[in-house]
Amino acid sequence: MEQLLSGYVIYSLAFLLIFISLATLLHLQFSLAGIVNFGVVGFWGLGMYSFSLLLVKGKVPFVLAVILACMITGIVSWILGRIILNLDDQAVLVGTLAFATIIEYLSTSEKWLTNGVMGLGTVNFPFNFGKKSLLVYSLILLVFTVLLMLYTYKLKKSPYGRLLLSISDNEKLSQSLGKSTFRQKNIFFTFTCALIGFFGAMAAPLYSFIFPRMIGSGVTFTIWIALMLGGRKRLFGGLIGVIATIGLFDYVIETVIPIPTQYAEIVPNIKFCVYGLMLILVLMFRPFGILGDKKMEIVK
């Protein structure tokens, strides 16, 4: 029982790391560059499926498959970015949402490629340390997550970070200072989407079999509510938010409260219902997250 629990704990933590990274990437895209990406799961799924296809069907070595998956996601996001990033926020929102929906549909319809709803697998860890494989893999994920957060921290205090902020605050004014705003938005979008794809690839071995239903809009929505809840302007906003939502719902509640099987079906429904309500409340009453906004308090 003890062993089972600790294996489950590490498993949960590994997933939390993936989602913390996704939330941090969304933070970079939305809070820094002002890109309203409602298609996060599309890039994540694209990375996940490209990687898995290369690994399982293409017999490509693990590391190379990850790199190629990133590149594929990057190229696709570059093309999408060129089309929609100079439109207004609402257009970017629905455009990215449409993109993610296309990816979700294609993963189901292209059975010859993805096995559709039968699932694609088996995606294994790149090494075999027996029982310790999961732990080692999770440590690797931890390293990447920490690197990402370091990058985010450093970026905010750098000239590029200021450039991104200026673009999201007042794009025309930034242009009038000679900044190539569209080009930089596109480059940054491509870079961060490639990283979203990276974490999609890295998530595949954790699932070991991947299905189209894993890349539905619920994932994007969960990341958004996590970011909004944790504080969109905070470096650790994603971290706090993910722990407060996914950590709480998917792991704490499911471990602590044993749900009888007849109710197991309704737990996801309760979860998303509560998420929806939380998002409404946060946006109306605490737009800068549950911890509030430091600057706003000083001004008051």
Partner 1 sequence: MREKVLHLKNVVKKFGGRTVVDIKDITFGTHGIEGLIGPNGAGKTTLISLITHKIGMDQGQILYYKNNKEIDISKKRLDEIARLGLVRTNQIIQDFASLSIRESLLLSLATSKDEQFYKIFNEKKFRKAAEQEINEYLEFFHFENPDGHALSAGEKKLLDIIRCMLLKPKFLLMDEPTSGLAQDQTDRVIEMMKTKTANNEMSILIVEHDLDLIWKVSENVFFMAEGEILIQGAPDEIRKNKTVISKYMGENYAQNK
Partner 2 sequence: MTFSLFTSTALVLGLLEAAPLVLAAIGFTLIFRLNGFTNVAYAENITLGAYFAVIFNSMFGWNFYAAIIPSALLSGLFSVLTYLVIFRPAFKRGVGKTELIILSVGLSFFVRYGSRLIFGNDLFNFTFDNPSYLSAFGIGITSIQITCIALVVVISLGIYFFIYRTNYGERMRALADNENLAMISGINPTKVSILIWFIAGAAGGLAGVFYGAFSFVSPSLGYNLILIIIMVTIVGGVGSVRGSLAASIGVGIITSAVTLLSKPLYGQVVLLILFIGILKLRKVRI
**In the complex, which residues of this chain contact partner 1 (CB under 8 A)?**
151, 154-155, 157-163, 165-166, 168-170, 172-181, 184, 187-188, 191
* Piece of 49-57, 153-161, 262-270, 290-298 that binds partner 2 (CB under 8 A): 262-270
Which of partner 1, partner 2, none does residue 179 bind (CB under 5 to 8 Å by kind)? Answer: partner 1
Token digits of residue 152: 């985010």
Q: Is 264 in the site for partner 2 (CB under 8 A)?
A: no
Would you say 64 or 270 has its CB closer to partner 2? Answer: 270
Token digits of residue 39: 């298609």
Which of partner 2, partner 1, none does residue 18 bind (CB under 5 to 8 Å by kind)? Answer: none
Least distance (Å) between residue 181 CB and partner 1: 7
Which of partner 2, partner 1, none does residue 172 bind (CB under 5 to 8 Å by kind)? Answer: partner 1
Q: Identify which of 287, 290, 277 has the alpha carbon closest to the alpha carbon of residue 230.
A: 290
Residue type at 52?
S
Would you say 87 or 113 has its CB closer to partner 2? Answer: 87
d(CA 226, CA 220): 10
Q: How far apart are the first and last CA of the chain?
A: 53
Would you say 124 or 166 has its CB closer to partner 1? Answer: 166
Least distance (Å) between residue 176 CB and partner 1: 6
For 226, other C-beta atoms within 10 Å of its C-beta total 29
Least distance (Å) between residue 80 CB and partner 1: 18
* Piece of 84-92, 131-139, 185-193, 247-255 that binds partner 2 (CB under 8 A): 84-92
Q: Are 185 and 35 in contact (CB under 8 A)?
A: yes
Enumerate the β-bridge partners of residue 210.
Answer: 120
Least distance (Å) between residue 108 CB and partner 2: 6
Would you say 121 or 161 has its CB closer to partner 1? Answer: 161
d(CA 158, CA 166): 13
Q: Are 84 and 92 in contact (CB under 8 A)?
A: yes
Does a cis peptide bond (omega within 30 degrees of 0) precede residue 122? Answer: yes
Q: Is 38 in the site for partner 2 (CB under 8 A)?
A: yes
Alpha carbon 271 to its chain centroid, in Å, reads 18
Helix (H) or strand (E) holding 121: strand 120-121
Helix (H, G, I), strand (E, B) or coil at 150: helix
Q: Is 83 in the site for partner 2 (CB under 8 A)?
A: yes
Residue ranges that bind partner 2, judged by CB under 8 A: 36, 38, 80, 83-84, 87-91, 93-95, 97-99, 101-102, 105-106, 108-109, 221, 224-225, 228, 265-266, 268-273, 275-280, 283-284, 287
